Structure 1
């Protein structure tokens, strides 16, 4: 069966040779003279090779290392060919290459979404298909309704520590129907504690349901693509698969199905797909069905297996010792004394959230996984673009969350904390994103701004905004032609702007600096009033600049001024 959840992985990435050997063993078994036995293939699948470290975010495996189907791909690789019948060509091949239509559609839709949201991941839908085959036999052969929801729950065994990992209930039985222990749920076999942060809405119905193949496939894709893993590289691919289920056998098995599906698949009607028959917890090793396999029969009376020679049951296992998570009573803020953080839109928060796990007596608890979750109406994320991060506490019981990155949406949101697999009192943090701001404005030119009555100013006003000496980009600004330095109300005469209809405008709103902090105002025009006038520009953050404009009759000895513009309409 799969390794337990607490088991640490060995360092290093599984080599390409291992995956190649697994596939080669499958091919070799088809060659002339092959015996058709499984032992050679099993040896490859179980080869001992270095395994990468646990996920960088410290999270548990998606499945809690629950059991999985161990059936290997068939001996002959798929070789799809167009249907000879008239109409739309249909790919055909071995039965094992057939994937139920709705399930196949879910895998492909998930790949398409991730190609846009996480292009650097390079996730192939065949990887989702390989995992879906191993985890649930493609939702038990495609037993799903028209919306992709399974006809009945697909549940793994309860993770009660008896032969499996110990994961106490985290969802109050909402997904798995078990209020004592967690169980892997749905076509991609997520445990509820992982689904709580990894779940996605893949079919657009407004909810994330682990029993829906569209939701589960998209969630699996995002789970595999976290930590900036690249599926086009060996290291990224192997790390992602092992993070799904921490087992070398599991890695080799998924790689075998991935290679098989890459060579060709075809769609079959929902509910008609084949269902694997061997599992990692039933004592069977990786198995490929062959034509020579005899059908299973009931044992004859008096023969082994009829119950008459059943050995005495094993004595019950002693209760498992408490895990570090079981000793945690509450979480405390371990930062700089405040649970309130502030950052400007587009900036990184200067402070990082730090949380300490403690016993009831206040002692630190190390090696406990703390989940940090961003909640509320915000586009802020942790560095890397995720809204959830799971970090293990150090020897001092402290977990340091990744840096927070403010988005463009202003306002207040929360970051909640929880102990993975154990319900305790957490600590909430409040974060506020303020609008982009500038504290200084300056003209980019010192050329005087002058105009003759009824004419237009030759130069446009351009200013540069900075904040603490750095470029202040995308900062909101307004520009108003004011009455005087002491009276900031809008002037009713003198220079003006024009709106889209050519009408007089003396206040401009919804202005914004560009990515270089520059703001260039529209052309200015003058009515028949002469004199000195003031243009005031202000930004979010309090930066203010007053620009002087002069309207005077042309000097007869000077060069002619620009031709007067048509009279402005009022």
Structure 2
């Protein structure tokens, strides 16, 4: 297996084409790689520091609060669990970043959500912010061996504020030594912070996928969760939430306010997954009340007259068969329109010259289920599959924008990479359940080579002397072009004003290059050495002979693509000898 950090450098920045970025984000944010060289080399085992008995992050927090749930008016069919929007975004983004770097792992975001639910209730109540940070640090109990495993300090208190013993930190509860190896930057801010849910979710995904695990295999999934916390009860609880999120649906809810800290768990047990909500069935009233049975009349021994017919029960004024009580009519509120479609606006192909800006901003349109434009909808544009040498929005390969009143989102500021190639630009919008993506095919054409001479002084040579040290530079899109081959030759203009190689009679009286064995040949055309890594080209020495006629000559440097630079060379007569 490749070292994970190297693999992620090459691949993870190509994703997030379908990563659900938080609706409140307004700047680009992408998953990046851990910088640790050995991260991902081996599969963590149940005896890793991360898997020790480390307690629960909520044990030292006050004030219980209910598990976040979908408001009754927005509960999805079959029941659904609410996850704060930023946390849900972080889990989905981590899934897709890991999928690009380690496609064989098949990490589901619901697994990360299950762990996040058990460890910190998705950072609820800690003041979860749209950028993934929290107002209140999330720290587990001190691992000093008193009721938990003993783990001596490994981070000098950098993350857990404890210089004697370690404490698990952040919404995914990383042991500091584990974070040192597996820490990742999940929100593109060039930091790896276990207290940030974007970073923590990506780090957890990489940790769970280590060792070429395939998490679609139940046995590998079991080992992965055990390596995160070596407890069968923990595994069962995480799997329970994972299944709930997969089967019962998930709805995004606002980030809970700071101060409503999660419920401390019952001592010795972990939370039990909340079952999907079931509709309440009210008992139906008995449709026909049974009438009282009339008393049996006393029969006389010898009736002289027939007994009188028993009187019939008095007919009630209400209907004999009561109907089901009528529920007061409540005005029916139509369901809110949801995101249903994203479509291209204009052509799906975009083209620019290497190193230049794309003149037309790629655009998409988001539509709701009622056919109306989706206003203020977050759309994520991400560059992927890039062979152009970094096509970017400024310095980032992603951009988050919002749609206007017409449902249109445009992605300005896209600049082509420095070499010819291709890339894809994916625009993705996210509904409460589904995500919608359209793809642009990007093409970057080669930028023309520019040849320029270093210096501006006149190129002069005296008859009988030589011209040396003429330096040229080849660039394209402002960058040096290495390995460029050229020809340098003396030229003159024809009747049409076009440059042509000098005629033999003119060549015999003009400057020349030396060639052949021992430089015995006089050449008017020569092939200089190719440009170096800095794009520099040094012209060969140009000679004059005593018979060279003074005058103005022209030296053309020409590339195979037809790019030419013509230099003017003045040959002056040698000074007359003094008497």
TM-score by length of 1: 0.46
TM-score by length of 2: 0.45
